[in-house]
Amino acid sequence: MVPEIVTGGNWRTDLFLIQIPNIVSFHSISQKWRKVMAFQTAFRFLPYKDASGNQRANPPAERIYGPISSIGPLTVCAYVVETKQGLVVVDTGYDKDGDLLANNMRSLGLDPSTIQVILLTHFHFDHAGGTSRLLKLAPAAEVMVHEKDADTVEAGKWKDRAGYPGVKVTRRLKDGDVITIGGVAFKTEHAPGQSPGEVVYLVTVDGPDGPCRAIFAGDATGFKNGVAELERLGYPGVCADFRTTVEKFRKMAFDLYLGGHPHQVFNEARADGNPFITREEWLKLVNGRAKEYEEFVKKYPKYLTIFG
């Protein structure tokens, strides 16, 4: 199957198509252009309710592409990546989800005790809460999160609001840090706005359709654009942080989008829930969130002062 040619942002449109058996690549004279593969996956991010309006049960664990699998509950995403050295888990859901994640790994034939690293995209209770339960199964696993969220993960609370059992952070990440486990390298990109230490992890993995560049994005595309949420989770500088992250994202390129919640795909990028989103669909997601932010601060300009 030949993927559609989609351009957006500052990308040029005079692309030259070269088709090779099982591989489609686009080349140009611009250094901004990248090779695009015709990636296939049966995995889909599903809506939370079925056609009858009933909430779905938690989905089974499922392989997404190559060594990457989905192991999270219905509304919050968590992932596991298999490496030659052991497992890497990205985000852990709520506290109660830790056991579910472990059982989901087992259903894929994976042993939770072989977890080597737990990478957290940010401190929020629905993304870091299950860490302590996984550490009971893999006590030697290293926990890594950006340095600006590390204290909150260790305390297990934010602004005196307890959310989950705190855990020791083994490594406090900085922008640009690369974590390599079993030959798989995860690059840290600081993308604050959802939290002071929100990050995305970029990784290239092999799969049946060739090397694939994936982004574990957590909730980095989002801004808390409700008054109650912003007052609860906001912090000084959040508005400027989010604007900077939006500009960074508009220049970012990847193949596979692995966000923090399924609705980021099925509701904001592509309705069929396929995680291989085009650049046009990525910009639709990013620009849609940016518009929500602009509308919010226009309606509530005081937050530009409080959380500027």
Cα–Cα distance for residue pair 22/54, rounded to 1 Å:
40
CA distances 197 to 132, 147, 166, 243, Å, are 20, 7, 16, 15
pLDDT per residue as tens digits for the range 166-188: 999 999 999 999 999 999 999 99
**Residues 103 and 6 grouped into a single domain:** no
Whole-prediction pTM value? 0.88
- Residue 50 CA, chain-centre distance (Å), reads 24
Query: What is the per-residue pLDDT across 128-157, written as a single tens digit (0 to 9) for each?
Result: 999 999 999 999 999 999 999 999 999 999
* Percentage of the chain modeled with pLDDT above 90: 83
Same domain as 151, residue 18: no
pLDDT of residue 20: 30
The per-residue pLDDT for 225 is 85
**CATH number (domain holding residue 290):** 3.60.15.10
| Residue 135: domain span | 43-306
For position 308, what pLDDT does the model report? 78
Answer yes or no: do 50 and 32 share one domain. no
As for how many domains the chain has, the answer is: 2
Q: Are residues 47 and 30 in the same domain?
A: no
Cβ neighbours for 240, distance < 8 A, ≥ 6 positions apart? 308
Tell whether 27 and 124 lie within a shared domain: no
Q: Are residues 113 and 259 in the same domain?
A: yes
Question: Are 101 and 241 part of one and the same domain?
Answer: yes
pLDDT beyond 90 at 48: yes
Question: Does residue 158 share a domain with residue 31?
Answer: no
Residue 179 sits in the same domain as residue 223: yes
Both tokens assigned to 297: 């601060």
- Asked if 178 and 188 touch (Cβ cutoff 8 Å), the reply is yes
The pLDDT of 30-45, averaged and rounded, is 66
